């Protein structure tokens, strides 16, 4: 499974629609296997979603994301954790232990739209990180 | 202690006064300290960002504003660095509900009476209306202007870039009001031709002879009053896209001419002796079923195959009911800004009526219903009484004389009840007097798709 975090320096990038880098974690039953940085090539929602799909991303953890962008990413069967903030390592740890729903990881005023906020076909789905 | 209390009170009063003053300003205003944490946040800022003052104060400004420039080209940072104000810079923010909003921002430094730097102030105003008008004038629509969470539309979004870059002829089928031109413009604006013209022609609006001169142009002297050359739409769309709407309405003789233009990539203006080559991408649209027109012989089969390289079928609104709340929300936001009103939304009863109507006029009709409600509704929520009478009549989805199976009738009845109850399954089960698990089982067995 591949989990992508949209990052800026050592934090989650504030706005996914214009963010430029992804930190991709490859995870299997034994835990985290590999980390790679991926440059996002375009800000066009369809092409951006298409790039995520080509990279084989299963889960996207990101900051603010516009509705069309989220719809486009979700349409590729990618589970989106939107409106997340925090230091990258803290967010990875929170995801690992199922604590992304805590207020400290939600952008101000966005808690309702935060945790597991991917609307549509992925609603309710949750990829567990074991190991 | 004695001297501290009045000082503290003075501070509180002064802070309250400040808030009152800031709240009276129509533009969003917030201030930050030198560490980028928000120190004040006015009411307009709350409305634009959908973040309350309580949640905003004390937070980093980038986490609250969520602007596309926060990380790459922060305006406040630039002002703090250079001391120079920034005036009316256009940026986009994402509000707490995921809406992308264009705003115009201005920044300035904040100093105390002795000139000591305290931080900076940012004022911003929502320019959605101006942007909407600009888009309408320049028709720069992209697929992000298409509001939908319907799976069929989302599937289209997936393939739209490939269709756009292919350069092939596209046929868009869909009922009137489903957004065919919006899709055509989105394809053009995603294609390599996006900087070239997009020219739209409604084929049903003109008689044959006029349509010919309109499409291909004419030479001086081609007919009486043709005093000088007039370029046709093909010429005007050179290197760009020509959108032929209502293609199903053109006459057989025009079909032949168009077929030749598509096959040979040349056309002849009226009165010209030589053919002109063209480099125009054709997108056609129709609200008819061209397959049927071909079968009954009123549309040429060879032209049909020529324009139908890629076909997009847009679902009518009644087949994407899950989009109705989204679209209503969009139209309410638009009319609130255009008409300077503050309608909060739609009441539950009114929403039930809107969800149970079958919209023969599709999205255009829904927009008109909301616009009409804006005339009658002075504020608060749009109520049932603000809706036109004709939408209260439940139209049968099939001919009443047509005999349907018991299973189909039950499925239709269930669907109607679900729509009336705004897809609330518990309410529907209660209304129908059945247990919720029986309802769930029936929904599954009839294959009824519920909006997510």
Q: Are residues B295 and B170 in the same domain?
A: yes
Please indicate, yes or no, if residue B397 is contained in any of the structural domains. no
Measured between beta carbons, the chain A residues lying within 8 angstroms of B147 are 67
Residues B74-88 have a mean pLDDT of: 91
Q: Are residues B225 and B191 in the same domain?
A: yes
Please indicate, yes or no, if residue A21 is contained in any of the structural domains. yes
Measured between beta carbons, the chain A residues lying within 8 angstroms of B143 are 45-46, 68
| Burial profile B285-320: b = 16 or more Cβ within 10 angstroms, e = fewer | bbbeebeebbeeeebbeebbebbbebebebbbbeeb
What is the dihedral angle through the alpha carbons of B49, B54, B60, B62, rounded to the nearest 10 degrees? 0
Asked whether the predicted pLDDT for residue A122 surpasses 50, the reply is no
Q: Nearest C-alpha of chain A: how many angstroms from B193? A: 16
Measured between beta carbons, the chain A residues lying within 8 angstroms of B154 are 71-72, 74-75, 120
Q: Are residues B191 and B276 in the same domain?
A: yes
DSSP H or E run through A92 = helix A88-96
Q: Which pLDDT score, from 0 to 100, does residue B402 have?
A: 53
Please answer yes or no on whether A46 and B190 come within 8 Å at the CB atom. Answer: yes
Q: How many CB atoms lie within 10 A of CB B36?
A: 17
Selecting from B63, B100, B149 the residue whose C-beta is nearest the C-beta of A85 gives B63
Token duo for residue B103: 């705003």
Task: For residues B442 and B384, give the distance between their C-alpha atoms in angstroms, rounded to a whole number.
Answer: 30
What's the CATH number where A81 sits? 3.30.420.130
What's the CATH number where B440 sits? 1.10.10
Q: Of B419, B426, B429, B427, which Cα lies nearest the Cα of B450?
A: B419
Asked whether the predicted pLDDT for residue B138 surpasses 70, the reply is no
- pTM of the predicted protein model: 0.62
pLDDT digits (tens, 9 = 90+) for B144-154: 678 887 888 88
Domain enclosing residue A24, as ranges: 2-113
Asked whether the predicted pLDDT for residue B180 surpasses 80, the reply is yes
Q: Which pLDDT score, from 0 to 100, does residue B133 have?
A: 75
Token duo for residue B62: 């980038």
Task: For residues B27 and B108, give the distance between their C-alpha atoms in angstroms, rounded to a whole number.
Answer: 15
Question: Can you say how many angstroms the Cα of residue B46 is from the centroid of all Cα atoms in its chain?
Answer: 24
Tell me whether B144 touches chain A (CB under 8 Å).
yes
Please indicate, yes or no, if residue B1 is contained in any of the structural domains. no
Query: Of B102, B126, B150, at which residue does a domain stop?
Result: B126
Pairs across A and B, CB distance < 8 A: 106
What's the CATH number where B153 sits? 3.40.50.300
pLDDT digits (tens, 9 = 90+) for B202-242: 998 888 878 888 899 887 776 777 778 888 899 999 999 99
Please answer yes or no on whether A109 and B161 come within 8 Å at the CB atom. Answer: no
Measured between beta carbons, the chain B residues lying within 8 angstroms of A83 are 96
Q: Are residues B279 and B372 in the same domain?
A: no
Q: Of A94, A103, A48, which Cα lies nearest the Cα of A74?
A: A48
pLDDT band of residue B139 (cuts 50, 70, 90) is low
Q: Nearest C-alpha of chain A: how many angstroms from B90? A: 15
Please name the residue that has the structure tokens 């995921």: B98
Q: Are residues B100 and B15 in the same domain?
A: yes
Which of the given ranges, B263-272, B333-342, B369-378, has the highest pLDDT on average?
A: B369-378
3-state secondary structure A21-88: EEEEEEEECCEEEEEEEEECCCCCHHHHHHHHHHCCCCEEECCECCHHHHHHHHCCCCEEECCECCEH
Domain enclosing residue B330, as ranges: 320-392
Cβ(B323)–Cβ(B149) under 8 Å? yes
Query: Of B315, B336, B357, at which residue does a domain stop?
Result: B315
Apex CA B191: angle with CA B187 and CA B185, to 5°?
A: 30
Query: Of B126, B146, B175, at which residue does a domain stop?
Result: B126
Handedness of CA B125, A111, A116, A122 (dihedral sign): negative
Task: For residues B310 and B360, give the distance between their C-alpha atoms in angstroms, rounded to a whole number.
Answer: 26
pLDDT band of residue B3 (cuts 50, 70, 90) is very low
Complex ipTM > 0.90: no
Q: Are residues B116 and B143 in the same domain?
A: no
Q: Are residues B100 and B18 in the same domain?
A: yes
Q: Which pLDDT score, from 0 to 100, does residue B435 have?
A: 82
A27-41, B285-299, B363-377: which range is least confident on average?
Answer: A27-41
Which of the 8 DSSP states describes residue B67?
A: B
pLDDT band of residue A23 (cuts 50, 70, 90) is very high
B68-77, B225-234, B307-316, B375-384: which range is least confident on average?
Answer: B225-234
Q: Which pLDDT score, from 0 to 100, does residue B412 have?
A: 77
Please indicate, yes or no, if residue B86 is contained in any of the structural domains. yes
Q: Which pLDDT score, from 0 to 100, does residue B452 have?
A: 58
Please indicate, yes or no, if residue B2 is contained in any of the structural domains. no
What's the CATH number where B386 sits? 1.10.8.60
Q: Are residues B186 and B305 in the same domain?
A: yes
Q: Of B434, B438, B445, which Cα lies nearest the Cα of B411?
A: B445
Q: Are residues B332 and B311 in the same domain?
A: no
Q: Are residues B216 and B111 in the same domain?
A: no
Task: For residues A39 and A41, give the distance between their C-alpha atoms in angstroms, rounded to a whole number.
Answer: 6
Please answer yes or no on whether A14 and B63 come within 8 Å at the CB atom. Answer: yes
pLDDT band of residue A62 (cuts 50, 70, 90) is very high
**Domains held by chain B: number:** 4
Tell me whether B154 touches chain A (CB under 8 Å).
yes
Tell me whether A99 touches chain B (CB under 8 Å).
no
Tell me whether B52 touches chain A (CB under 8 Å).
yes
| Bridging pattern class, strands B170-173 and B198-202 | unpaired
DSSP H or E run through B4 = helix B4-23
Q: How many CB atoms lie within 10 A of CB B348?
A: 12
Please name the residue that has the structure tokens 């009476």: B113
Q: Are residues B66 and B164 in the same domain?
A: no
**Domains held by chain A: number:** 1
Higher pLDDT, B419 or B144: B419
pLDDT digits (tens, 9 = 90+) for A64-108: 999 888 888 887 889 999 999 999 999 999 999 999 989 999 999
Q: Which pLDDT score, from 0 to 100, does residue A95 have?
A: 93
Q: Which pLDDT score, from 0 to 100, does residue B403 have?
A: 53
Q: Nearest C-alpha of chain B: how many angstroms from A29? A: 31
pLDDT digits (tens, 9 = 90+) for B92-102: 999 988 888 99
Please indicate, yes or no, if residue B121 is contained in any of the structural domains. yes
Please indicate, yes or no, if residue B399 is contained in any of the structural domains. no
Would you call B153 helix, strand, or coil by DSSP? helix
Please indicate, yes or no, if residue A128 is contained in any of the structural domains. no
Selecting from A47, A65, A107 the residue whose C-beta is nearest the C-beta of B161 gives A47
Q: Which pLDDT score, from 0 to 100, does residue B141 have?
A: 66
pLDDT band of residue A42 (cuts 50, 70, 90) is confident
Apex CA B158: angle with CA B156 and CA B161, to 5°?
A: 95
Beta carbons within 8 Å of B164's beta carbon, 6+ residues apart:
B186, B187, B188, B190, B191
Measured between beta carbons, the chain B residues lying within 8 angstroms of A85 are 63
Residue of B nearest to A12 (CA): B63
Q: Of B243, B233, B315, B248, which Cα lies nearest the Cα of B288?
A: B248
Q: What percent of chain B has pLDDT over 70?
A: 90
Task: For residues B372 and B447, give the distance between their C-alpha atoms in angstroms, rounded to a whole number.
Answer: 36
Please indicate, yes or no, if residue A29 is contained in any of the structural domains. yes
Please answer yes or no on whether B99 and A67 come within 8 Å at the CB atom. Answer: yes
Tell me whether A17 touches chain B (CB under 8 Å).
yes
Please indicate, yes or no, if residue A12 is contained in any of the structural domains. yes
Q: Are residues B168 and B285 in the same domain?
A: yes
Please indicate, yes or no, if residue A56 is contained in any of the structural domains. yes
Tell me whether A21 touches chain B (CB under 8 Å).
no
Phi-psi region of B422 (alpha: psi -120 to 50; beta: other; left: phi over 0): left
Please indicate, yes or no, if residue B451 is contained in any of the structural domains. no
Task: For residues B216 and B235, give the distance between their C-alpha atoms in angstroms, rounded to a whole number.
Answer: 7
Tell me whether A108 touches chain B (CB under 8 Å).
yes
Tell me whether A15 touches chain B (CB under 8 Å).
yes
């Amino acid at each position: 499974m591949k989990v992508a975090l949209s990052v800026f320096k050592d934090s989650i990038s504030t706005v996914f629609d214009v963010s430029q880098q992804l930190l991709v974690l490859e995870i299997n039953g034994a835990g985290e296997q590999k980390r790679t940085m991926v440059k996002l090539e375009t800000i066009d929602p369809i092409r951006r979603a298409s790039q995520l799909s080509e990279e084989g991303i299963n889960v996207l953890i990101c900051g603010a994301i516009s509705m069309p962008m989220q719809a486009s990413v979700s349409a590729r069967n990618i589970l989106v954790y939107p409106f997340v903030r925090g230091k990258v390592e803290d967010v990875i740890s929170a995801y690992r232990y199922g604590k992304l729903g805590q207020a400290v990881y939600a952008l101000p005023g966005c808690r309702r739209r935060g945790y597991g906020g991917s609307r549509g076909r992925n609603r309710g789905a949750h990829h567990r990180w074991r190991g | 202690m004695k001297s501290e209390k009045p000082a503290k009170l003075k501070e509180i009063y002064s802070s309250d006064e400040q808030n009152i003053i800031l709240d009276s300003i129509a533009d969003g205003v917030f201030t930050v300290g030198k560490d980028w944490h928000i120190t004040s946040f006015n009411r307009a800022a709350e409305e634009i960002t959908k973040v309350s003052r309580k949640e905003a104060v004390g937070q980093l400004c980038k986490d609250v504003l969520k602007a596309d420039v926060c990380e790459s080209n922060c305006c406040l940072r630039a002002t703090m660095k250079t001391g120079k104000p920034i005036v009316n810079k256009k940026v986009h923010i994402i509000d707490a509900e995921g809406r992308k909003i264009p705003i115009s921002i201005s920044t300035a430094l904040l100093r105390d009476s002795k000139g000591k730097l305290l931080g900076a102030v940012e004022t911003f105003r929502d320019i959605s209306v101006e942007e909407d008008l600009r888009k309408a004038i320049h028709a720069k629509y992209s697929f992000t202007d298409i509001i939908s969470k319907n799976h069929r539309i989302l599937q289209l979004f997936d393939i739209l870039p490939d269709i756009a870059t292919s350069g092939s002829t596209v046929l868009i089928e869909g009922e009137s009001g489903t957004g065919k031109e919006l899709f055509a413009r989105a394809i053009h604006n995603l294609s390599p031709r996006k900087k070239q013209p997009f020219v739209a022609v409604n084929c049903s609006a003109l008689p044959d002879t006029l349509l010919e001169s309109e499409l291909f142009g004419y030479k001086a002297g081609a007919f009486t009053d043709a005093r000088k050359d007039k370029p046709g739409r093909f010429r005007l769309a050179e290197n760009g896209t020509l959108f032929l709407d209502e293609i199903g309405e053109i006459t057989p003789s025009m079909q032949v001419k168009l077929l030749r233009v598509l096959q040979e990539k040349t056309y002849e203006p009226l009165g010209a002796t030589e053919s002109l080559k063209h480099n125009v991408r054709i997108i056609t649209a129709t609200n008819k079923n061209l397959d049927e027109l071909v079968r009954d012989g009123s549309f040429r089969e060879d032209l049909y195959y020529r324009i139908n390289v890629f076909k997009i079928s847009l679902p009518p609104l009644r087949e994407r009911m899950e989009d109705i709340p989204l679209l209503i929300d969009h139209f309410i936001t638009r009319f609130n800004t255009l008409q300077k009103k503050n309608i909060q939304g739609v009441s539950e009863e009114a929403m039930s009526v809107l969800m149970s109507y079958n919209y023969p006029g599709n999205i255009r009709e829904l927009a008109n219903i909301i616009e009409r409600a804006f005339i009658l509704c002075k504020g608060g929520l749009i109520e049932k009484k603000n809706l036109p009478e004709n939408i209260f009549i439940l139209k049968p989805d099939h001919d009443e004389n047509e005999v349907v199976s018991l299973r189909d009738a039950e499925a239709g009845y269930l669907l109607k009840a679900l729509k009336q109850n705004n897809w609330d399954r518990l309410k529907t089960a209660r209304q129908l007097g059945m247990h919720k698990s029986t309802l769930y089982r029936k929904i599954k067995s009839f294959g009824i798709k519920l909006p997510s």
